[in-house]
Structure formats: C-alpha cells, structure tokens
Structure 1
Amino acid sequence: MAILISGSVAYDSVCSYSGRFDEMLLPDELSHLNLTFLADTLERYFGGCAGNIAWAMKAAGGSPRLLAMLGKDGNAYRDHLDKAGIDSRFVKDAPDEWTAQAFITTDSLGNQLTTFHAGAMNLLQVPDREALSGVTAAHIAPGGLRSMVSQGELYRKLGIPYVFDPGQATSQLSPAALKELSLGSMLICVSEYEEKLLADRKGLERKQLVTPSRSLLVTRGGEGSVIYTAEREIRIPAVQPLRIADPVGAGDAYRGGLLRGLELGLPLETCGRIGSTIASFKLEAPGGQAYSPSLSDIAARYRMVWGETYPG
C-alpha cells in the first residue's frame, strides 16, 4: 500500500527570546508597531508539514512517497530526504523561487511569533501518472491552497481515498473548498482549535463530518487525541516522552505514525496508538525532523505503553 503525502517542505529558523512579548507591547501603540526582539539563540531545522509527516512515517517503519516543491536553495533538504531513505522522486525544483521558510520567535512564556514565506510551495501541481503509480491512499497536508483543492478533485475523480489535514489552511480555504475537501475524504485530521474553527466559522460541525465512510481525528496536545467514527469515540492517551525539548511538529509526527498504521491496513485505534508513540519521540528533540529512534526503541516503548507488540 503506497501512500502519497503532499504539502509543504520548509526551512524553519527558530529564535528564542528570554523576555516576554507582552512586556514590549504598549497597548496604545498597537496600531503602528516597530519592535526588535534580541534573540538569545538561533537554530535552523528541516520542516514543513508534509516533510515532517513523511519523516515520522519513515521513522515508524513506513515507506512514504513525498510530493512537494523545493526552491533554488533546496539541495540541502533533498540530500536530507535522500539520506533518510524517503522517496523524493516527486519533490520538484522551482529554480526561480526560495524554498518555503518559517521564521519563528518564542518568548520565555512559550508564546510564538511566526512569519511564513510560501515561495516554491505555491507552485506545487497535482501528481502526474508516475507519482500516482501504485498509490492506494493519499494525505493532503497544508500547502498551496489551489494545489490542495486540485489534489482533492483528482483523488475523488480517480477513486483514491485520502486523508484531509488542513492545519493552518483551515482559516485560509474558503468554506466551499473546505466542505468539498472534507466531505470527499476518508479521514479528517484537525487540532481541537481547528475543529472549533471548522464549526464556528466554516459551518462544518462534527455531526456532518462523521459518517459510516468517514472519520474525524482531533488531536488535543498533552491530553491525547480522539477518533470519532460513526460507531464510537476512540480515545488515544498521549504517550509521555522522557523529556520535552520542543512541541513543534508533534502533531505532524502523530500523523506520520497514523499513516504507517493505515499503510499496514490496521484499525484506526491501532493507527492512533502508533501516532501517539511516534509523537512522544518527536517531543524529545528540537525541530520537526531531528529525531531518529530505532525500530527497536519504538517497539519497546509501544509494548511498555500499550502492552502489545509493535505492528509497524
């Protein structure tokens, strides 16, 4: 079972600021801000939702196929994917654009300010016949809005079941596009906040999204996740990491583990357990792709938490 993962690959530049953002903000001056935060540290990581998900699926023992765009600065990212053994044949280059980049500053309270440049990401096209060869399922992660819509249309036309994972695009896609992508999927993956956004601002409530042929996964951070099916609610506790280095990318890691379970044709509850286990390893490392547990490490933690043999 080949799963095609599409969406963003990006470089993440992460700064830490030892002060507090709110101490630098003057309530009467918010209409014309001009602020500089002196960062104490700067780190650069490989990121992007699709890249993070593919990394996690590979770590879980899977064979992800990645569909994405790199820019003129993308050689380091491609080498990184190739060294990890991730299928990057369908990661294309846009020589006149920069690879998507996120610039993130975090203060001492964990508040974040992020600026994102999409760059090459917006040039991603629908997969061609070669990219779809042998594909039995797809995962639409956040990326270029037009590309997300076009991919959904193609998968529905070809009868390829897909997971819809709108992420930050939840607030950017039109209500019509969100409805079309959601109702045409086999599984919708959102955070607790994104589920509320779908209901309150887009008019898509849980009762519309969950059917006998479509399930809804809602991640809740440290409280774990819930998978809603037409028959029942499946609660998946969060697997506790040995330490927490960085929460960024934990949701993507969960999704990568989940896809490994789907690749194996496992029940959704088992898929969620794999996802929660992989997310715990991600929490122990900075960035979205700086962790690389062995399969024996994953299997040991999975057995310890769930009392079962790791199926991946």
Structure 2
Amino acid sequence: MRIAVTGSIATDHLMVFPGRFAEQLIKEQLERVSLSFLANQLEVRRGGVAANIAFGLGLLRLDPLLVAAAGIDFADYDTWLQANGVDTSAVRVSSRLHTARFVCTTDEDQNQIATFYAGAMAEAPRIDLAAIAARTGKPDLVLVGADDPAAMLQHTTTAHRLGIPVAADPSQQLARLDQEQARRLVDGAKWLFTNEYEAALLLERTGWKEQHLLSRVGTWITTLGAAGVSLARSSAPTLRIPAIPTDKIADPTGAGDAFRSGFLAGTAWNWPQEQAAQLGCALATTVLESVGTQEYKLIPSDLITRIDQTYGHDAARAIEPQLAGVS
C-alpha cells in the first residue's frame, strides 16, 4: 500500500518554559495579553506534520511519498528524509522562500504556545496531485495534513476525483477554515484525525452534530493525550485504546504525528483498527520520550515490549511478525 502524505515541511524551534502558562494569565486581561516567557531550553529540529508522518512511515518501511512545499534551505533536510525511507520526489522546492518555521514553547504541564510561519508552504497550491499520480503511480491513500488551506482543499478534491481514499487531518489549520471549507475537507474521508480540542472545533466549524459528521466519514480518530485515543464510527460503538504510559516525557511535539504513522502503517498491513491504534500509541510514547519530532529510533523489541505491557501478550504477538523486518 502506497501512502501519499501532504502537508507542511518545517523547521521546529522548541523551547521550554520552567513554569505554568496558566499562572501568568490574568482572566480579566485576556483581551490585552502582552507576555514573554523566559525559556531555559532551545532545540532546533526538523519538523512539519507531513514530514513527521512520512518519516515515521519511512522507518516502518512503507515507502511514503511526501507531497509538500519546501524552501531554498531544504537540501540537508531532503537528504535526511531520503536516508530514512521517504520518497521526496514530489516535494516542490521554492526558488526564493525558506522552509516554514514552527516556534513552540512548552510549559511544565506540557501546555504549548506556538507560532507558525508559512514560508515556502505558500507555494503548496501550485502542487498538482493528479500530475504526481500520473508520474509516480496512483497512491492507495492520500493523507491531507495541515498545509496552505487552498492546497488542502485542492488535494482533497483531486483525490476524490481520482477515486483515492482520503485521510483528513486538518489539525492546526482548522482555526483558519470557514464552514464550507471545513466540510469539504472532511466529507467523504475514510479516516478523520483530530485531537480532543480539534474535535470540538471541527464540530463548531462544520456546524454539524457529531452523529451527522460520523455519517459522512469512515472512522473518526481522536487522540486524547494521556487518555489514549478513541475510534468512532456511525455503525459501531466507540472504541477506546489506552495510551502506553511513560514517566520519561521529554517533549510532546510530534507525538500525534507519530501516532498517525503507526496507525496508517497498521491499516496498510490490513490490521484491525484496534491493533493499528495500539502500534500508533506505541510510536507516540516513543516520540514523547525524545526531544524533536524525528529524533527517535524504532526498535522492534522495544515496541513489542511496550505493547505487551499495556495491551497484553496476545496483542504483542499479533504485532511482532510485521515488525520483524523493521530495523
């Protein structure tokens, strides 16, 4: 199964504030916020939702096709992605703009405040998914991740026209979408990904009730942080998968993207959704324990042990054969 991953490529500037944002906010002054947080750590890392998801799929030997826009500074990042199993032949490289920047500060409660600079991502609407499919072969699934909104709508429309299943993952861009755009991005998706906050925002943006939205997608997957993940379908009870616990959290950035990599890999291997979600949770916890979204290592024995300890021996043994070829 070939997965095309669309969305952002970015450089992440990750800072840590040794306090709580909530303690610095005055309820009566929220309309006039003027704050700065003195960070005591800074890490500059590779990131972007499409690149992060494609990286995870590459480590799992899925040969993902990255469809995104990058900047004039992309050469080293390109080499890194290719070395980790990502096909970057469909990346548009700008001749004048730099790769997008994600600047994020995390407090001691793992709350985050972030700013995203689009940079070369503004050229993403110039990417023709149909032309890429004609050149490289039609993918079996297109994940439409956070990107320039025009590009997201364009990729969704093209995938539906070509009969390619869509995984809708609007995430950070939901706040920029109007009702028609939000509906177009999720309507007809085989998979819909959100976190808990985005789930509520999506209902507000689309104007749809939860059951109506579920009737228009295949499975709605909502990541719930330490509470794990829920998988909802209109025709079945909601399935809840607990997170794999850890006491070694280093940085939450990229955990959701890693979950998507693991889940989509499981579906590519025709696993049941519960089993795919368990692998996704294992990858998410692995990323939580490292700083940066692409700095982790996939060690099959470690993933199997985590799954065994959280979901039981049978779950671990079911996953083990497919991970045998991952190194």
Say whether 1:2 aligns with 2:7.
no
Counterparts in 2 of 1:9 and 1:39: CA distance versus 1, 3 Å: same
1:274 deviation in Å? 1.4
Match of 1:145 among 149, 152, 159: 149
Residues of 2 paired with 1:204 and 1:46: CA distance? 36
Say whether 1:89 aligns with 2:94.
no
Q: Which amino acid aligns with 1:276?
A: C
1:288 deviation in Å? 1.1
Q: Equivalent residues in 2 for 1:1-312 (5 A)?
A: 1-21=1-21, 35-124=35-124, 125-131=127-133, 133-211=137-215, 214-229=218-233, 230-241=235-246, 243-306=248-311, 307=313, 308=315, 309=317, 310=319, 311-312=322-323
Say which is worse superposed, 114-123 or 158-167, in terms of deviation: 114-123
1:134 deviation in Å? 3.9
Counterparts in 2 of 1:23 and 1:209: CA distance versus 1, 3 Å: closer
Residues 6, 144 of structure 2: 8 Å contact kept: yes
TM-score (norm 2): 0.87
1:233-288 Cα distance to aligned partner (Å, 9 max, x none): 21111112362111111111111111101211222222211111111111111121
Percent identity, aligned pairs only?
32
Name structure 1 gaps, 5 residues minimum. Answer: none
Residues of 2 paired with 1:250 and 1:53: CA distance? 10
Residues of 2 paired with 1:246 and 1:120: CA distance? 26
Higher relative contact order (CA 8 A, sep 6+): 1
Counterparts in 2 of 1:123 and 1:113: CA distance versus 1, 3 Å: same
TM-score (norm 1): 0.91
Residues 56, 258 of structure 2: 8 Å contact kept: yes
Say which is worse superposed, 157-166 or 14-23, in terms of deviation: 14-23
- How large is the Cα RMSD of the aligned pairs? 2.3
Residues of 2 paired with 1:78 and 1:18: CA distance? 34
Counterparts in 2 of 1:26 and 1:215: CA distance versus 1, 3 Å: closer
Residues 245, 286 of structure 1: 8 Å contact kept: yes
1:197 deviation in Å? 1.1
Counterparts in 2 of 1:28 and 1:178: CA distance versus 1, 3 Å: closer
SS in 2 for 1:209: helix
Residues 198, 205 of structure 1: 8 Å contact kept: no
**Larger helix proportion of the pair:** 2
1:72-111 Cα distance to aligned partner (Å, 9 max, x none): 1112211221221211111221021110101122344544
What is the number of equivalent residue pairs in this alignment?
A: 312
Residues of 2 paired with 1:302 and 1:269: CA distance? 12
1:14-38 Cα distance to aligned partner (Å, 9 max, x none): 1223355566667787666665544
Residues 60, 298 of structure 1: 8 Å contact kept: no
Residues 65, 88 of structure 2: 8 Å contact kept: yes
Counterparts in 2 of 1:78 and 1:26: CA distance versus 1, 3 Å: same
Counterparts in 2 of 1:272 and 1:30: CA distance versus 1, 3 Å: closer
Residues of 2 paired with 1:109 and 1:283: CA distance? 14
Name structure 2 gaps, 5 residues minimum. Answer: none
